[in-house]
Amino acid sequence: MGDLTAHFSVSEFICRDGSRKDPPCRLLGVLEAIRAIAGRPLPIVSGYRSPLWNAKVGGAPESFHLRGEAADIPPGFVDEAGARRAGAGGVGLNSEGWVIHVDVGPDRTFTE
């Protein structure tokens, strides 16, 4: 059980450098919907990123991770159509077409 929603905890969204910005309710709703589509727990690979950490990992200068409005998930949990149904704006796909990034920004799709 989570402390942000039924299934997600703040600890999952803390930057690897220890800094923190809680995700907005809209992103949590998207992630809960993806979890429901997948029918299993949804690990968060990356949530909030501080500016220094974002630069270190080669993140986009205007990344939604900098605002706590994005999450990276492992591939194999949802396809692009499912992520859109869940309410994701930005959807990042890996080379095999699996969703690995969701955010609450404007509708767009990109490949990482």
Q: What is the pLDDT along the chain (112 residues), one digit of tens a residue?
A: 689 999 999 999 999 999 999 999 999 999 999 999 999 999 999 999 999 999 999 999 999 999 999 999 999 999 999 999 999 999 999 999 999 999 999 999 999 7
Helix/strand/coil (H/E/C) assignment for every residue in the chain: CCCCCCCCCHHHHCCCCCCCCCCCHHHHHHHHHHHHHHCCCCCCCECCCCHHHHHHCCCCCCCHHHHCCEEECCCCCCCHHHHHHCCCCEEEECCCCCEEEEECCCCEEEEC
pTM value is: 0.95
Q: Are 100 and 74 in contact (CB under 8 A)?
A: yes
Q: How far, in Å, CA of 111 to CA of 29, rounded?
A: 23
Q: How far, in Å, CA of 100 to CA of 72, rounded?
A: 5
Query: What are the structural domains of the chain?
Result: 10-111 (3.30.1380.10)
Res 112: pLDDT: 79
